[in-house]
Structure 1
């Protein structure tokens, strides 16, 4: 592992010499991720994107892109845009990226099942803000807001998410 890796441990994430409390998916960790199972996939995942709500925060890094009204993430294995960002209107199953709550104010996108998605293998493994300590995600890794902002401002091209 590299010093720039985000390493998921049993109770926290280790990054740049610091420890951050985290939550993971309600289905725990898995070696065989499937769409809708709530599990967080083990492995080494690259950070391939960063999205943020410009109406709620300043740009956290020069490569972060704004989340606009109508931005969605396809989680429908039946559609050709499965596990990709799409725009409304979109008649297939999806997640709204521009949420009323603050959970997706800042999103780090991993390369889980991306860019060439295997249908049904799971979509949208993000790093995002948690709902609260110990409250599980749908498969993502989530952090306290201030911790996520600290991490996001220090992500580099070589940073990976390592889930053992």
Structure 2
């Protein structure tokens, strides 16, 4: 059973079985066309690779997926010209990258999805994560986001083989 993310009224929702939660997606919405930096959440069904979490802020989430602590120097390369594009890296890092240990709470839980990672194709779009939503569910850079308690509930209910699927229509 997958986590299905679709439009819902004037916003977005994520459904898993008989449960549904308010969600946030990329500022470009959910679309088939995906390019580097467009803020689009890409239509498709993406496997869940790994769950990262901030052990200094939350307990280890219940999850059937590989789970690891976000370390102080963890980053994620988002430079399509670098050999480590769409891969975890250690900071300091010479190329463009995200800091995984953010000051805000958005990455207190980060679920890495298998989008453009096997192998990464430069320019086809950086990594897509499922992470904690802003309180107002403001758009992401292309990721999916849920409230922290909803994300924890999903992870606890998920099974091995669960994917996240972005659908352009319900």
Give the TM-score normalised by structure 2: 0.91
Q: Could you tell me how far apart the structure 2 residues matched to 1:72 and 1:18 are? A: 32
User: Does 1:129 find its partner at 2:126?
Assistant: no
Which residue of 7, 27, 51 corresponds with 1:10? 7
Query: How far off its partner does 1:156 sit?
Result: 2.0
1:97 offset after TM fit, Å? Answer: 0.3
Q: Distance between the aligned counterparts of 1:54 and 1:84, measured in 2?
A: 21
| Structure-1 residue corresponding to 2:146 | 143
Number of residue pairs matched by the alignment = 161
TM-score normalized by structure 1? 0.94
Unaligned runs of 5+ in 1: none
Q: Is the 8 A contact 2:51 2:109 kept in 1?
A: yes
Aligned partner of 1:51 in structure 2 is 52
- Please give the root-mean-square deviation of Cα atoms over the aligned residues, in Å: 1.1
Shift of 1:9: 1.9
Once the two structures are superposed, the pairs formed by residues 56-71 of structure 1 within 5 Å of their partners are: 56-61=57-62, 63-71=66-74
Segments of 5+ residues of structure 2 without an aligned counterpart are: none
